[in-house]
Chains A and B, each alone.
Chain A
Amino acid sequence: MGRVYGEPIEVLTKEDGDPVSFAWRGRRYTVISVQEYWIVNRDWWREPAPFPERPELRFWRVEASAGQGQPAGSYELRRDMAAGAWMLRGIAD
């Protein structure tokens, strides 16, 4: 991964949870394809109890672009399933 951000973002998803588009730094990016999708438990044991039932972090590496004519890039999005919050993990070059 090239640059790492870790910034909260707004994401629109399909019914199955895959991202359709996301807004970051004032621009809306459209997901062209999902290149990778994986899931990891977060370090729930470092957190105060009670633990979430699903301490899942879901990751999508997507090809997306900020609009027609804009170059497509590879973006890594993360969703904390317990909190529902999205984050832009980074941009792959």
Chain B
Amino acid sequence: MPAPAQFTHLHVASSYSLRYGTATPAALAVRAADLGMPALALTDRDGLYGAFKHVQACADAGIKPLLGADLALLSPGGATPRTPRVSRRAGQSGAAGQYGPAGRVTLLAAGQRGWASLCRLVSAAHDASVSATGTATGTVRAADDDVPAVTLELIAEHASGLVVLLGPASDVGQAVAARRPDLARRALDRWRYLVPGVAVEIVDHLDHKSTFRAARLAELARDTRVPAVLTNAVRYLDPVGSMAAQVLDAARHLVPLGSPRLVPHNGRAFLASQEDMAATAARVAAAMTGPGTASAAIGLLAETEEVARRCALDPALDLGVGTRHLPETKGTAYDQYKELRDRCEHAILHGRYRTAGAASRPRGVSRLRAAQTARDRLEHELDIIARTGMAAYFLTVADVADRIREAGIRCAIRGSGAGSFVNHLLGISAIDPLEHDLLMERFLSPIRGTLPDIDLDVESARRLDAYRIIFDAYGAERTACVCMMETYRARSAIRDVAAAMSLPPDEIGAIAKAFPHIRAKHITAALTELPELRRSRLNGAQLEAVFGIAQQLDGLPRHVAMHPCGVLLSDRTLLDRTAVQRSAEGFPLSQLDKDDAEIAGVIKLDVLGVRMQSAMAHALTEINRATGNPIDIDAIPRDDEATYAMIQRSETIGCFQIESPGQRELVKKLAPRDVADLIVDISLFRPGPVNSDMIGPFLRARHGLAEPRYPHEKLVEALRETGGVVVFHEQVLRIIDVMTGCGLAEADLVRRHLSAEGGPERTAPWFHAQALARDFDPVTVERVWQVVAAFGGFGFCKAHAAAFAIPVYQSAWLRRHHPAAFYAGVLTHDPGMYPKRVIIADARLSGVELFPVDINASSADWTVVLPEDATPAGSPRATSLAAAGPVPDGSVSGRTRLGRSPANHSLARWFLESTGPLQALRFTGRKPSAPGVSPQAIRCPLREVKGISEAEIARIVAGQPYTSLRDFWNRARVSRPVAERLVLIGAFDSLYASGPTASPCASGSAASPYSPAAHRSPESPNLRVPPSSPEAPPHPPVRSPASASWLSSESSVSSVSPEPVWLSAPVPADISGVPAPLEVRQLPVSPPTLESSLSSVSPEAPRPSVLPPSSESSLSPVSPAPLWLSPPAPADISGVLASPEAPQPPMSPPASEPSLSLISSEQLALGSRTPSLSRPSRRDLLARVGVLARQSPTTRLGPPPALDLFAGAGAEAADGMADLVPAGQLRDLDLSERVEAELEILGFEVSQHVLNFYAELIAGLSVVRSAELADRENGETILVAGVKVATQTPAVRSGQRIIFASLDDAIGLVDLAFFESVQDRCAARLFGSWLLLVRGRVRRAGAGPMAVTVNGYECWDLPALDEIRVAGGMAAVRTAMAAGDVGPGAHQTLQDQPSATTYAADETAGADEPARTVIFANGFVLSPYAETGAPGGNLKTPPRTLWHASPGSTAS
């Protein structure tokens, strides 16, 4: 057997064949080069996603690239020969179709023409598959699952420069396999007739019969004189890759391994050596019969090399690598440059740059000198632009930015582009680089080969609008979005592998979710290293197999997605250089990713959707709507003292970039006074400066505590602005320039080198030589070098920080001067890191009221409440609002401000009672609103209602106002669950607020009993009831015994009851009609109606959980039917009454006074005066929804019924329906039910803070509140509690994984840190619970109240603890806490729980180092799990059970 000199693989799938190939293009190219092959093809399936990666990899490996694609083939009438596998699929596609699946073909591109054809063909394949599957015939489906496919005719249209390889999977090969040589020959003839470049592809993977078939196919080629090539249809690097490939097949087809739908695997589709391929050729030749078999092997290999030679591509000539393809819309390069110069000079002439104004000029610089500086800078930049030929790019971006702004979309620059003065003059950038001393070279330099990026930030909500503007302006032939590959990570890999291995779906979900968002290759390591996984049961042997294979899938692309911001802008040859498919959003999506675009020489414009821009746009709209005075936020002065004062107090929650705990700490220390300070602040808050400990020296220098230290006097200028500390990339450039004299452009190249692996080592000799030659002394050179090298790629581009600083300032300005509009914007667009509850709490603390969802007042989005809207007739809130009047700036104490309105009433009361004077500490210095601005309020929007659709929102808003529930039901036509949810959260309360008990809010907050005072215990001296509070009647003596006896009573019985409580409570004298409430329930009510009203709660929707629990759990033990259906049997009641312990509802509403006052003021009165009562309760309204739904059971989505007798306002009273569910029939929701409904339906509370329900437990444990932290000693051990609102595991200096968490405790945030040594016992609870109690030590990082962190070392589930308290009192709670973990699922870990006392010593950081860490060149150590989110659910969604199942509701 002659060993051939060379062999080239012509059919190779990389990992960019989604869920098919397992080897990266780079690995394949390296292997091919190692095997001594001269070239390598990449023919990925269904797309060209890997093409430029292959080109790059081949260039790196020193071999020639070939490019192609492996595409699904359709042929008329389906597969020509009905082989078993294909015919099964064809059968599914139905008979109507013209085309049926007929296998796959491989195409190779020859020359530039071939590459263009290939791009166009792949685009057409994607296009055809999309349109064809959507047609009525609906039969164009390929042999795989729903992939792009081509027909012979389509290939013929694009055949120029293509070579078609017809292998075993082609129609020809399948006919051969079916032993139909006649059909095979006919199919081959068709190909030859329509397509010039056809070759037969011989593959022998040693499958059963494959050698036989390969020989027959080779004979066919020989007999028809068609060239035959040999390939190995490669899909992995080595035979071991076949198992992963087999799993990918299963995942792709969504069937388990072993399914008959999957092809057998045998590990032969690897990148075989030349010797292996020669042996294959010989084996096939030996199996051939007829003439010429002796030379068949040699002929096969020779033909393969001939095709390889013909299709080898020249990256520069054929693919356009290294050239730039800019939009040609502005004429010749000269025209473009001239236009650019004209526009810039015009801008200078008219002073349209910031440093032309006195306020922005550096101090002491005259206007003339500033103008001269500007002209010099312009000439400098124009020179660079001319030399790089980028004028068209600047003009294009300016044009795009103009068009976006013309459409009313906010648009700001980001990134290094802010360093360009030309960008400022063209209006692209609001930053004048001369004002902030920014460098053009960081952005664009003539000696750098890479293309510049100008990034535009637009409103996230209108990002796609911006895309459409670009596409409309430049046309689809020049424009496409950039794609990106979603890759397998731990969770997705585990899911796919486990599914392939037939694990039950619910188990798969549980296993996958147990992992944080880490890379798949870290699965095994994470199992042993992450405490929360170490303690799970995932280490079992049965899962080892799943994890083992899952790790092999690490990083493989699995899904093509639209890059969140990249848009390609090119000349009209774009579609000859990239294949384009349609994105899910309907945009043309290039198969180039952002790196490919750079290689392919296509300019990429990043148009990022930034939520803060949307939030600010919304705020500005609301300001305009509320005041009629539009504000140009881009024109506001950037030196507003009040704004900076607010930032210095770190009241920055909701602001862009500076709201995180760390940033709030930093701005407190830094005390920014101007935009320049904000730039420094943003730049310092990065891993680089943090890990190099730059912040300390910088702050000391800034506050004059230490003299700035400069390595050399020549570097003073570069480093003065940051006190000698290197913060910015621009400073590194200047240092390198000063030390070596290389110029800024080259300095930027050096800087980029430094961030590469091994870069510092390679650069050091050059730097030293240059610097020493310039007479710097060796000590200085070495010292400077150390700084530069350590800084490496870490620092921050100052231009980027400057671009960020503007929206930081703008958002802070809005927060300071228009808080209601600001919070409306932030809540609508959710730009930051905190869940809505934190923003809402912050809004309230800033004096912005929260109004509930109102069916007539709420919009789709959060809105500012206009003064007229805030005064619905009869609403007490209106009076309070009106009475409050203007709020003098800064003069309002928290107490009076908070007490101002019912909405804040509960919160305020709670502050007063639980924290006493402390709240004053928190609020002093808070300046809620600008002088003269009336109190501000925001309105909850409809969109926050769970399950509401956009169509429903639109109908509701269009139909406002509504006169009744029936009117709403008929015109808004929402689904029944949505209507019920709206009722439950009180959206109709104002509509029915005309009665004597007018305001639901009033009844909720003023009359209902949430007062922690009811549960006042001796351990909580802090709790005191304001003497003036009318809701705090003398503590009923019954209470204490009740809680003491709680343990012995059945929980189901105990939760019952309002009745027993109420009956046994000392009845105030004025409540004469004790039985009255019972009578109320006996009112004649038609049972079906009520049944429907009851059932309406549960079946259709996640049940609100408000009603059913109370009715089922509390009522059923007493009487089988809800009380209002059957009169309470005296026997039942007496049974309960007989019990000496009146069960006491554990939570507040349960609190006696509330129910007392509620009943006495409303229901008792109602009982005696039912006819006069006009205000229906929410439960009444819920029942009415049920009635309405029964009356109009037609589909709610259709048009309104043509004839609706009851439609329209006023009909309700007449139609008798109201009689079925009379107002006041059903008890209204109590406060806990309201809060629970709000949490369930809105995701946050409106009525009062959820923590209030744990007031007794919190008081009993002497929990420290956030406002008190400032007074605590460093190192003091304390308990804190609250709602978990954020967890983060960012990069920190020690290399540990530290879990940072924030708790919202109703008056502020408590920032927690959990070090690795305690994560073993804390992590699972921390990630798994929503309401937490944490024990930790106070750590005071510096001066100031914000700099307090609690290093947590134990944590418990608050609801679980409260259940224990309810059952056994505070003593039981303490016992349980001492025992260790408490909470759902705690039992399994109680044994190995270190007790609190054993903890003491190991809290200090670094007790155990993680097994693996990432160590950067500058010594920065990083935990591999840094930046990985917590396993578990979404923080914004409260868990179903917020507190124990029986909140002690006062069910009637």
Contacts and interface: CB of A to CB of B under 8 A. Distances in A.
Interface residues on B, range: 20 to 34
Contact of A38 (B207, B240, B242, B258): B207
A45 B545 contact: yes
Nearest to B545: A49
B548 A45 contact: no
Contact of B208 (A38, A41, A55): A38
A43 interface: yes
B208 A40 contact: yes
A44 B548 CA distance: 13
Contacts of A40: 207-208, 264-266
A54 B207 contact: no
A51 B208 contact: no
A5 interface: no
Contact of B212 (A36, A39, A43, A59): A36
A80 interface: no
A45 B258 contact: yes
Contacts of B548: 49-51
Contacts of A55: 243, 267
A39 B266 CA distance: 6
A54 B239 contact: yes
Nearest to B502: A45
A41 B545 contact: no
Contacts of B376: none
A2 to B, nearest CB: 18
A69 interface: no
Interface residues of A, number: 19
A53 interface: yes
A51 B243 contact: yes
A49 B208 contact: no
A48 B540 CA distance: 12
B883 interface: no
Interface of B: 206-212, 239-240, 242-243, 246, 257-258, 264-268, 500-501, 541, 544-545, 548-549
Contacts of A43: 257-258
A41 B257 CA distance: 12
A19 to B, nearest CB: 16
B243 to A, nearest CB: 6
7 contacts: A36-B208, A36-B211, A38-B211, A40-B265, A45-B501, A49-B545, A50-B544
Contacts of A45: 257-258, 500-501, 545
Contacts of B240: 53-54
Given A41-B242, A41-B265, 18 more contacts: A36-B208, A36-B211, A38-B210, A39-B206, A39-B207, A39-B266, A39-B268, A41-B243, A43-B257, A44-B243, A45-B501, A45-B545, A49-B544, A49-B548, A50-B544, A54-B239, A54-B240, A54-B267
Interface of A: 36-41, 43-46, 48-51, 53-56, 59
Nearest to B287: A36
A40 B207 CA distance: 7
Contacts of A36: 208-209, 211-212
Contacts of A51: 243, 545, 548-549
Contacts of B258: 43, 45-46
Nearest to B283: A37
Contact of A48 (B243, B246, B541): B541
Contacts of B257: 43, 45
A51 B211 CA distance: 28
A83 to B, nearest CB: 16
Given A36-B211, A40-B208, A51-B243, A56 B541 contact: no
A37 B545 contact: no
A45 B206 CA distance: 22
- The 9 A-B pairs with the shortest beta carbon distances in the complex, nearest first, are A49-B545, A39-B266, A49-B544, A38-B208, A41-B265, A39-B206, A45-B257, A53-B240, A45-B501
A14 B264 CA distance: 27
A54 B240 CA distance: 6
A51 B212 CA distance: 31
Contacts of A44: 243
Given A39-B207, A51-B243, A56 B266 contact: yes
A49 B268 CA distance: 22
Nearest to B547: A49
Contacts of B267: 39, 41, 54-56
| Interface-centre pick from A39, A45, A55 (highest chain B CB count, 10 A) | A45
A45 B257 CA distance: 8
Nearest to A55: B243
B541 A41 contact: no
B206 A37 contact: yes
A66 B267 CA distance: 34
A48 B239 CA distance: 20
A46 B542 CA distance: 11
A49 B257 CA distance: 16
B533 to A, nearest CB: 18
A69 B243 CA distance: 46
| Interface-centre pick from B257, B258, B264, B545 (highest chain A CB count, 10 A) | B545
Contacts of A50: 544-545, 548
Contacts of B209: 36, 38
A32 B240 CA distance: 33
Nearest to A50: B548
B1043 to A, nearest CB: 55
Nearest to A59: B208
Contacts of B268: 39
Contacts of B545: 45, 48-51
A73 B208 CA distance: 20
A89 to B, nearest CB: 12
A53 B238 CA distance: 10
A13 B265 CA distance: 24
A57 to B, nearest CB: 8
B206 A41 contact: no
